[in-house]
Amino acid sequence: MSAELDVGLVVAGYGRHYVVETPEGRRIICHPRGKKSDCVVGDRVRWQPTGDEGVIEHVEPRRNLLFRQDEWKTKSFAANLDQILVMVAAEPVFSESQLARALMAAESAGIPARILLNKADLPQIEAARERLKPYSAMGYDVREVALKARPAESRAALFSLLQGQATLVLGPSGTGKSTLINLLAPDARAQVGEISQALNSGKHTTTSTQWYWLDDTRSTGLIDSPGFQEFGLRQISAQDLPRLMPDLAGPSQQCRFYNCTHLHEPGCGVRAALEAGDVNESRYRIYSELFAELSAPTRY
């Protein structure tokens, strides 16, 4: 039955309202069938028209899904991604814990991630570079831009990085995500305005995930997500943490005990690497904090 229905791409979600784009580029407001709503931006869905709107009947299987999970709820960002761009900035000072959590969620979902350092024109850039050195050393691609100070140069560098990909932009408020979106997708405000008008609501535009096309052929997609202050990783077990941290993965294989927590056991490869300076102290601290958090019993 569902194979006979129209296929569309979910390009925005506002509560139980979704915007579905047809292969021809038309955008229609759709609602899921029934009470449960499990669509996210990036989903391919089967839908059928009902008057001026549509009903989503079926979500096609996903390649991947990026989400965060705390004790109380799961928050999905987007599905079927080619890469994730985690934004940080020279100012305000970024939380290394939040950066590490976003990268680990991407690793857990099997989605390649890059780090984008904005505001490279500010004097604080040197301190930010220093804090990102361990991430470059463990193989993450770290790029620098100055979106406001050098817009043309930044736009050219970014477009080559994003071309032909579906990219989710992640990052806390204040890093320049809105500047990035408006620089690369000049009609972004117009697209959000059209959707808000169709929904008779303007209040959700900064708190919802939104897909933008960066080219006329609709082959390069950029997905903006709400800024976050917390990034829960309850979907990951404490024992799985080293596997998702590239700098700890190798040393953790050298432990004397197979169930080593890397906190106090003798013959621990991770602590030996820490003492030798091969594992960064702040990274080990993040591991220790996450291990405690994910080992704690869930409160209901």
Q: 220 among the known binding-site residues? A: no
Q: What share of the chain is helix, strand, coil (3-state, %, to 5)?
A: 30, 25, 40
**Partners of 67 in the β-ladder:** 76
Neighbours of 50 (CB within 10 A): 10
Q: 164 among the known binding-site residues? A: no
Which two structure tokens, joined as six digits, stand for 177?
């995500």
Q: 120 among the known binding-site residues? A: yes
Q: 179 among the known binding-site residues? A: yes
Q: 219 among the known binding-site residues? A: no
Q: 171 among the known binding-site residues? A: yes
CA angle 28, 48, 80 (to 5 degrees): 65
Q: Which residue, 54, 69, 75, 74, is CA-closest to 10?
A: 54
Q: 182 among the known binding-site residues? A: no
Q: 174 among the known binding-site residues? A: yes
Q: 6 among the known binding-site residues? A: no
Q: 175 among the known binding-site residues? A: yes
Q: 209 among the known binding-site residues? A: no
Q: 173 among the known binding-site residues? A: yes
Q: 176 among the known binding-site residues? A: yes
Q: 30 among the known binding-site residues? A: no
Q: 172 among the known binding-site residues? A: yes
Q: Which residue, 192, 180, 263, 256, is CA-closest to 222?
A: 180
Q: 148 among the known binding-site residues? A: no
Annotated binding site for GTP: 118-121, 171-179
Annotated binding site for Zn(2+): 255, 260, 262, 268
Annotated binding site: 118-121, 171-179, 255, 260, 262, 268
